């Protein structure tokens, strides 16, 4: 598993039983910042297989605190369920909270959204770009896990491009449009209009 890289390190792996099945959790670190990330893998594959994967960006409020202000928690659950149903797959869980602005800045952005701004306007009002995420560690993580061809669960074309730029073959995309509620319909509409996410328009009416 250990690969030499100037930017990233693999740390260790362990069993991770979950509600859906038994995964293995793998720990990684960005050397320059000390930022920690994890990958969950399930099942087995050959080097040439197309592996179902999800790149999930940390969302403490949605993933751990049950918020329905976004669709993150529902997407995380659905991704793990999909992987187990398909018998193999990988979830890359990147610690890029709030599209990269961090937890406390996300709460500041939520405050501005409570006052009427949309998710992009709120980021920009705080002096950030709409999306600050960096996916470069994904190439290293997938390399360590011996994955080179993927079926990516996402509605976000930027993730497809980011993987292609890293030399990963994105053979297919599986939409992941779970968790749309009255609490987040406007937020998701904004993501389609301003950030390029692809959603079935009927789901957003």
Ligand X SMILES: Nc1nc2c(ncn2[C@@H]2O[C@H](COP(=O)(O)OP(=O)(O)OP(=O)(O)O)[C@@H](O)[C@H]2O)c(=O)[nH]1
Question: Interface residues for ligand X in 115-154 (CB under 6 A)?
Answer: 119, 123, 154
What φ, ψ does residue 192 adopt, rounded to 5°?
-70, -40
**Is 113 labelled as part of a ligand binding site?**
no
Task: Judge whether 131 counts as a catalytic residue.
Answer: yes
CA distance 205 to 199: 11
Q: Binding of ligand X at residue 70 (CB under 6 A)?
A: yes
SS3 29: strand
Neighbours of 33 (CB within 10 A): 8
SS3 128: coil
Between residues 6 and 127, which has the closer beta carbon with respect to ligand X? 127
Q: Binding of ligand X at residue 159 (CB under 6 A)?
A: yes
- Looking at 7-15, 38-46, 90-98, 161-169, which segment touches ligand X (CB under 6 A)? 90-98
Specify whether the CB–CB gap between 97 and 72 falls below 8 A.
no
What is the smallest separation between the CB atom of 65 and ligand X, expressed in angstroms?
11
96, 138, 140, 147: which one binds ligand X (CB under 6 A): 96
Task: Judge whether 114 counts as a catalytic residue.
Answer: no
37, 40, 57, 89: which one binds ligand X (CB under 6 A): 57
Specify whether the CB–CB gap between 27 and 12 falls below 8 A.
yes
What φ, ψ does residue 173 adopt, rounded to 5°?
-120, 135
Token pair 């390029």 in the structure block, residue: 196
Query: What residues make contact with ligand X under the rule CB under 6 A?
Result: 57-59, 70-72, 75, 96-99, 101, 106, 109, 113, 119, 123, 154-156, 159, 176, 191, 197
Question: What residues are annotated to the active site?
Answer: 131, 133
């Amino acid at each position: 598993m250990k690969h030499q890289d100037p930017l990233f390190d693999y740390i260790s792996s362990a069993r991770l039983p979950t509600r859906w099945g038994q995964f293995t959790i793998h720990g990684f670190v960005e050397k320059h910042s000390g930022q920690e990330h994890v990958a969950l893998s399930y099942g087995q594959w050959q080097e040439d297989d197309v592996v179902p994967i999800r790149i999930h960006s940390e969302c403490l409020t949605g993933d751990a605190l049950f918020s329905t202000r976004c669709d993150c928690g529902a997407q995380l659950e659905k991704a793990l369920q999909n992987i187990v149903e398909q018998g193999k797959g990988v979830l890359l869980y990147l610690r890029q909270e709030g599209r990269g602005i961090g937890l406390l800045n996300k709460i500041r952005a939520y405050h501005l959204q409570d006052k009427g701004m949309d998710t992009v306007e709120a980021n920009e009002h705080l002096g950030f770009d709409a999306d600050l995420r960096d996916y470069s560690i994904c190439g290293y993580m997938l390399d360590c896990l011996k994955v080179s061809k993927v079926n990516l669960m996402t509605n976000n074309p930027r993730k497809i491009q980011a993987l292609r730029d890293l030399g990963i073959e994105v053979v297919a995309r599986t939409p992941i449009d779970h968790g749309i509620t009255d609490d987040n319909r406007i937020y998701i509409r904004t993501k389609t209009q301003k950030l390029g996410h692809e959603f079935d328009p009927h789901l957003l009416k």
